Amino acid sequence: MLLTVAPIWKEAPFLRVLPAFVAGILLQWHCVFNINALLALFSLFLITLTASFFLKGYFLYKYKWVLGLLIMLLAMSLGMIITHYKNIKNQREWLGTVYTPGATVIASLRESLTEKNKSYKAIADIYAVVDGDDSIRVAKGSIIIYFSKDSSVFKRVKFGTSVLFKKAPQAVKNSGNPGAFDYSRYTLFQGITHQVYLTPDDFSVADIDLQPRYMHWLESSRLIILDILKKYIPGSREVGVAEALLIGYRNDLDRDLVQQYSNTGVIHVIAISGMHLAMIYGLLIVLLRPLQKNNQTKMLRGLIILSVLWSFSLLAGAGASILRSVVMFSFIVIGESMARRVSVYHTLAASAFFLLCWDPFLLWDVGFQLSYAAVLSIVIFLRPITNWLYFRNKIMDHIWKLLSVTMAAQILTTPLSIYHFHQAPNLFLLSNLVVVPLSGIILYGEILLCILSGLPLVAGILGSALSFLLWCMNGFTAWINDLPYAVSSGIAVSVIQVILLYAFIAGVAVWLMFRRPGAVWMALPCLLLFGAIRVADVYYKTRHTRMVVYNVPGYTAIDVFTGGYYFYMGDDTVNADGFMKSFHLTPARLMNGAVKEGQGIYRHAALPFIWLDHKKILLADSVVPLPGDPSPNLDVIVLSGTVTSSISRFRQQFRCSTYVFDASCPAWKINKWKNECDSLLLRRHSVAEDGAFILD
């Protein structure tokens, strides 16, 4: 095993530095060290490392491990420093530090408006804050702006528009629901920390454009491509997939269709990834083959390929997975232009290092993790899997190679997919066998459609053909999704369990690929420990009882967990809508080990009472009911937005010290009830403001 790994280790210097650099990023994010101390340590390590290069002979050979340790410490401290400065909250000109109440914020929209159910949404870059004395201070950061749905907004606001508003920005908050997506951290990693809702009277438009010219070119190019696709490809579902497939535009995608692609293991088709870039790279290699003849044209060929790949990546939104791909292909193209071959492990490690230097928070990006796991998995396992079978028939050989790539990619991505998405596609081989080549044909067809869009007749025929192919791909994906046991869902694993899974995979791989039977003794304990943790986790979750009042804006949503089941009470819309259910309710249900809905629950015959072990809860969704017994004792009263009674009236009829206001309550009513509770010295919890209410 050591003889196999050592050459790779030597050929890939970045493979040694990357783990220390990643450790520095994680350490700084979780522990937060003083930046001055970090800069001093970095300077010390750098000076010591520089001085060590003047040492020669036996001394340097004897203590070469010290040199390696210095390089590791230097990489770790560099990761910590970059993480500190990349965090927008640590910058002096951050909006949260510069803004004062009553000041005017100047922001420039960096994207076109996106239509939501009750508003228009756009992300804007903050440039300055104007105080009451007309002093202008530079400000940094980004903000989410929600515009009220008004016809005048579309006329006044577009990409690059500078808006001025005095309304106080609000910090981006999480819903507080158990196991829910950490939205505030997600936006922070993008430099977004605040949000604001504006009506037409809340803002004015300035006649200045603060966005760079290249951003205007990218946005106009993106809009032109979207117009071409919408004009020539019939069908809303088909054009939505076409937009996502070509430039990663996902706003027109059908939610149910996205879930089907995820369940069948082909979500990478509509999430711009390395596969799309590889297809374009392959097309460029074929088209530019005449330029491969001499050294002068080789350089031109490389520049053309790099220009096209980077332009496509920027048009597609420059997501983590496509950035990984374009950086890797850049290394490959530059190496080919210089007639040098580089280890694929070195290329992978180097691309990850430079991307994390540019944005260390990519480390938390699911696309970044899955992208590198897939490529590394293919590099390690593709050849051994391909060698399992040999076919003389060329068609069968191509089919087997495609299946081999799919199987190889799944080995290292499956643990991550289970951790992030709590499911594993069981029929991914069948779906990828059809969808991947079909999506390649569609992608090339869309590129050709954009080129021939000036010929309406030809473009119309091509668009109809593409619409049919997209319809076939969507239909096939839906058919696979509807097959029995197409997906294993409801799987919740921890970080420790993911590490154990990877240790098991590593042990089995070493055993099979390098004929090392001893590796089995590393794999089996990991599998047994994984199983033991799963059993203990399931046992614990089925033994406890818990009630959760969710924070679903505008709705009442309550789950009671007991015995491995959940009992839902609230608005049926939340539990029936696929997106709302998966976003708000499912994470908590997985977290509590309850993937099946129970039938019935212990409730009072006449009143909406719930008994949780020794706790008695009242769910009040209308006027105060008359108690069945005189002034019953309650532990919690949950009030919905339809309640019109005051807290004092509840106080007269029930003995209860804790009041919960669910997410369906309007803000004015919550404020009124909060004041009443404070005056009566009662505990209160507003789900909309304080997050989900959890009662064990």
pLDDT of 1 over the 60 cut: no
What phi and psi, each to the nearest 5 degrees, are found at residue 104?
-100, 130
Looking at residue 287, its pLDDT comes to 78
> At 119, is the secondary structure helix, strand, or coil?
strand
Cα gap 618→549, rounded to integer Å: 12
Q: What is the DSSP letter of 422?
A: S
- For the record, the structure tokens of 425 come out as 């596609």
Count of CB atoms within 10 A of residue 345's CB? 17
Q: % helix / strand / coil in the chain, to the nearest 5?
A: 60, 15, 25
pLDDT of 72 over the 70 cut: yes
* Placement of tokens 């499912």 in the chain: 586
- For the record, the structure tokens of 478 come out as 């839906």
Count of CB atoms within 10 A of residue 341's CB? 9
Q: What is the 3-state secondary structure (H, E, C) of 6-73?
A: HHHHHHCCHHHHHHHHHHHHHHHHHHCCCHHHHHHHHHHHHHHHHHHCCCCHHHHHHCHHHHHHHHHH
Q: Is 169 left (phi over 0), alpha (psi -120 to 50) or beta?
A: beta
Q: For 19-57, what is each residue's pLDDT tens digit? A: 999 999 999 999 989 999 999 999 998 888 887 777 665
Highest mean pLDDT among 479-488, 511-520, 536-545: 479-488
> At 348, is the secondary structure helix, strand, or coil?
helix
Count of CB atoms within 10 A of residue 680's CB? 14
What are the beta bridge partners of residue 145?
Answer: 122, 196
> At 591, is the secondary structure helix, strand, or coil?
helix
Looking at residue 603, its pLDDT comes to 54
Looking at residue 623, its pLDDT comes to 55
Q: For 583-616, what is each residue's pLDDT tens digit? A: 888 888 888 888 788 776 555 545 567 777 778 8
Of 144, 124, 219, the closest CA to residue 186 belongs to: 144
Are 246 and 445 spatial neighbours (Cβ–Cβ below 8 Å)? no
Count of CB atoms within 10 A of residue 536's CB? 10
Q: For 459-508, what is each residue's pLDDT tens digit? A: 999 999 999 999 999 999 999 999 988 888 888 888 999 999 999 998 88
Are 424 and 487 spatial neighbours (Cβ–Cβ below 8 Å)? yes
Q: For 143-165, what is each residue's pLDDT tens digit? A: 999 998 887 787 788 888 899 99
- Note the maximum CA span of the chain: 97
| CATH 2.40.50.730 is right for the domain spanning 95-211 | yes
pLDDT of 63 over the 70 cut: no
Which strands sit side by side in the sheet containing 609-612, from one edge to the other?
Answer: 609-612, 615-620, 636-639, 658-661, 683-686
Q: What is the DSSP letter of 133?
A: T
Count how many residues are written for the chain. 696
* Placement of tokens 């970090």 in the chain: 38
| Averaged confidence pLDDT in the chain | 85
What phi and psi, each to the nearest 5 degrees, are found at residue 535?
-65, -45
Of 563, 573, 569, the closest CA to residue 596 belongs to: 563
| Burial call 115-138: b when 16+ CB within 10 Å, e when fewer | eeeebbebbbbbbbbbeeeeeeee
pLDDT of 627 over the 60 cut: no
| Burial call 228-259: b when 16+ CB within 10 Å, e when fewer | bbbebbbeebbbbbbbbbbbbbeebbeeebbb
323 — pLDDT class (breaks 50, 70, 90)? confident
pLDDT of 4 over the 70 cut: no
